[in-house]
Amino acid sequence: MSTHPCLSCGACCASFRVDFSVHETEDMGGSVPQGLVVEVTGHTARMRGTDHARPRCAALTGQVGQRAACGIYEWRPSPCREFEAGSAACNRARQRHGLAPLEGLVP
Ligand code: SF4
Ligand code: SF4
């Protein structure tokens, strides 16, 4: 059995701003833990740490490029659920962290 490449990556969680509707936060009846979120506007929330000069989501555990995991995997917001391993954005994030591109889509 091969290991999913995301488990030794995490680059996307340390590359992009992660914004989503405030309705996805716990306080608004969603699932994303409030302590890991900053409110941007009355409508938009952001994963804490993803707008830093060197972005790194506050929910990311481990070390990018070695061993990484989302600390709130089951409760993560929609942009994280929709992000595709092997996509152009994935490979941009990997490149930013000195990792080789993934070939094609990963199931
Ligand atoms: S989606 Fe791509 S950038 Fe994100 S953890 Fe997986 S392999 Fe890395
Ligand atoms: S919530 Fe999880 S999947 Fe989304 S950016 Fe943060 S660590 Fe990555």
Task: Give the closest residue to 24 by CA, choosing from 76, 99, 88.
Answer: 76
Nearest ligand 2 atom, CA 76: 1
For a ligand 2 pocket test, name from 7, 12, 13, 78 the mutation site with the most ligand atoms within 8 angstroms of its C-beta.
13
- Cα 51 to ligand 2 centre (Å): 13
Q: What is the pTM of this model?
A: 0.94
pLDDT at 107: 53
Whether 12 and 18 have beta carbons less than 8 Å apart is answered as no
- The predicted pLDDT at position 97 comes to 98
Q: What is the Cα 36 distance to its own chain's centre? A: 12
Element containing residue 35 per DSSP (H, E): none
At 2 the pLDDT is: 67
Q: How remote is the CA of residue 70 from the centroid of ligand 2, in Å?
A: 5
pLDDT tens digits for 3-48? 899 999 999 999 999 999 999 999 999 999 999 999 999 999 999 9
Express each pLDDT in 48-96 by its tens digit. 999 999 999 999 999 999 999 999 999 999 999 999 999 999 999 999 9
Alpha carbon distance 99, 19 (integer Å): 24
The residues facing 85 across adjacent strands are none
Question: Would the pLDDT of 105 be above 80?
Answer: no
**CB 33, CB 72: distance < 8 Å:** yes
Q: Of 2, 3, 6, which is best to mutate to test ligand 1, by the most ligand atoms within 8 angstroms of its C-beta?
A: 6
Q: What is the pLDDT of residue 3?
A: 82
DSSP state of 62: E
